[in-house]
Structure 1
Amino acid sequence: MSASVVRHRTETIDGLDVSYREAGDPGAPALVLLHGFPSSSHMFRHLLGELADQYHLVAPDHIGFGRSAMPAVDEFDYSFDRLAQITDALLDRIGLTRFALYLHDYGAPIGLRIAAGNPERVTALITQSGNAYREGFTPFWEVLFAHAQDRAAHESTVRALLEPEATRWQYVHGVPEDRLDRIAPEAWLLDQLGLDRPGNKEIQLQLFWDYQFNLDAYPAFQEYFRAWRPPTLVAWGRGDEIFGPAGAEAFARDLPDAEIHLLDAGHFALETHGPEIADLVRGFLGRTLNPAAL
């Protein structure tokens, strides 16, 4: 079977189906790709093919997203702690003992919980708008943090973030005019289909509320950076109005050797700068995942 073939698989973790995409030779260095809101492993569809000749790639769908299980909000603890536990258990189940992490958006607090809890397992970090510093928050977050303090007062405003125009905006904001035609419309339409499933908006509202506790975890994430100095690549959209470029540059504070690249892109930079990011990742992993690190 060609290394570039992507397999779509499912494991049952704690009674829940967790779907994931897998490509590459299982004997090759592993890279785990963790998606953000409101996406799924679909966001990595092109990157899997680009990197599968040299790496073993695994891209899960978080619970409540993509093809993974979507229990009702009163039947599952929709928290970032719990999502990290599920992901960690999936990696154990499929036998990934050492791996690099690619973090986007929600994937950052999920993946960094795993990394801080099991630092010896993580060979490298790649972050694409995967925030770990308060500097990364933009005015976009004001209503979300207000919602965290008073859910009833701000729910109607926050619910607007789950509607089609807001989903499309996440893909097109900050993107130069000459790159807009690179955004595949099925990407944000697929995300919206996921949001429109009965009960999913309640799930997303719960995760919006729970996001506040990720900030409490930032000191532990930053201590992990300082103590373990994982090789780190930052490939971030300069025009991202959700997690601003100050969040990218902040990684240098605790990881002075981090390779930081601000691309002329928005939040979903893989849609418009996929080949550029693939080249950055390939070069970075080629330099850092030497035999002594595996």
Structure 2
Amino acid sequence: MKTKLLCRLAFAALAAIATPVSSGSEPNPSQVLHRTVKIDGLDIFYREAGPREAPAVLLLHGFPTSSHMFRNLIPALADKYHVVAPDYPGYGYSSAPSVAEFDYTFDNLANVVEKLTEQIGLKEYSIYLMDYGAPVGFRLAAKHPGRVRTLIIQNGNAYEEGIDNDFWKPVRAYWKERSEENGDKLRPLLTIDGTKWQYTTGVRNPEAISPDTWGHVQPLLDRPGNQEIQLALFHSYGSNPPLYPKWQEYFRKHQPPTLIVWGKNDQIFPAAGAHPYKRDLKNVDFHLFDTGHFALEEDGAEIARLIRGFLDKHTGK
């Protein structure tokens, strides 16, 4: 009996040593949290991680994805930075009202993101701008230059160069004439083949691209009424090039430190759109990657390393 008691005491002591003590009152700041707030009656979903007192990084996703595109980048930054990645209306886990209930324009997407930053208390932030995230983020930056500490640009345009290729011809036709016929020519981009094309074209190794990407995106695109949402935004994209001179003036006047991490094989926003930033921005850290549109999928670890070094330098952390 004495021997058994000693054994039980020994096992209990070992268990106490091996089990970490947690009060339950000290959350891990690097844990990714999944939150929703009301903005103008819409549920806007966002991912958030990192110490709230740390420099903030606002991650703005592209088409046709959502904050899901940052699922690996967020924890890679969250030990030192306060990271926030929203889903726009019509994307991810945010509300997707019909086109009759919400006017899907880039002005309105930017308004929603602006109100989100104000509601959750982001007073200053760096912005990661990708694809659709570029016209959303540049609207914010031009309107509130004092809030933007740095820019991280990945395959998102602010110049005419790079949106003059074959991909854009049917899109430009839709800007010029918003007809059913012109809209139908863009619907293949909303199919599973179109989605896979975006993720895999231009990559070094297609087997490195997780099917979780289109597995997340396509069911959301296939929701009733969502194709009309996407067509509305295809048309609204035509509102962006006329704003390019305003955004370029913002670059010249305010000179935000800028990191460019661009997939050079992108068939939508090719490398021709990356180089012109160097005309107007004096402090540019410029990198082209041998990959496609969604550069984070193949080169996320290296991009995260560059972002950390860039933010460490320019945000004082």
TM-score w.r.t. the length of structure 1 is 0.97
Partner of 1:266: 292
* Structure 2 SS opposite 1:32: strand
| Residues 126 and 150, structure 2, Cα contact 8 Å, conserved in 1 | yes
Per-residue deviation, 1:221: 0.6
* C-alpha RMSD of the superposition: 0.9
Distance 2:169 2:300 in 1: 30
- Correspondence 1:4 to 2:50: no
- Correspondence 1:190 to 2:234: no
Distance 2:96 2:274 in 1: 32
* Structure 2 SS opposite 1:284: helix
The aligned length equals 289
Q: Which residue type is aligned with residue 187 of structure 2?
A: R
Deviations along 1:46-103, one digit per CA (max 9) or x if unpaired, are 0001010110000000010000010110111100001000100000000000000000
Q: Which of 172, 193, 209 is matched with 1:165 structurally?
A: 193
Per-residue deviation, 1:3: 2.6
Matching of residues 167-246 of structure 1 within 5 Å: 167-176=195-204, 179-246=205-272
Q: Which residue type is aligned with residue 94 of structure 1?
A: I
Partner of 2:62: 36
TM-score w.r.t. the length of structure 2 is 0.90
Moved segments of 4+, more than 6 Å: none
| Residues 128 and 153, structure 2, Cα contact 8 Å, conserved in 1 | yes
* Structure 2 SS opposite 1:246: helix
Distance 2:117 2:315 in 1: 19
Per-residue deviation, 1:148: 1.4
- Stretch deviating more after TM superposition (69-78 or 151-160): 151-160
Distance 2:52 2:248 in 1: 31
Q: Which of 181, 184, 207 is matched with 1:156 structurally?
A: 184
Per-residue deviation, 1:136: 2.1
Return the index of the structure with the highest Cα Rg: 2
Partner of 1:144: 171
Distance 2:253 2:269 in 1: 25
Deviations along 1:132-168, one digit per CA (max 9) or x if unpaired, are 1110213211110111112223122111111110100
| Residues 50 and 83, structure 2, Cα contact 8 Å, conserved in 1 | yes
**Structure 1 residues without counterparts, runs of 5 or longer:** none
Q: Which residue type is aligned with residue 188 of structure 2?
A: A
* Structure 1 SS opposite 2:59: strand
Q: Which of 116, 126, 130 is matched with 2:156 structurally?
A: 130
The structure richer in helix per residue is: 1
Per-residue deviation, 1:4: 2.3
Deviations along 1:101-150, one digit per CA (max 9) or x if unpaired, are 00010000001100000000000000110111110213211110111112
Distance 2:249 2:113 in 1: 22
| Residues 30 and 51, structure 2, Cα contact 8 Å, conserved in 1 | no
Partner of 1:75: 101
Q: Which residue type is aligned with residue 204 of structure 1?
A: Q
| Residues 145 and 212, structure 1, Cα contact 8 Å, conserved in 2 | yes
Matching of residues 17-96 of structure 1 within 5 Å: 17-96=43-122
Distance 2:282 2:54 in 1: 28
Distance 1:258 1:42 in 2: 27
- Correspondence 1:280 to 2:315: no
Q: Which residue type is aligned with residue 313 of structure 2?
A: R
Q: Which residue type is aligned with residue 173 of structure 2?
A: A
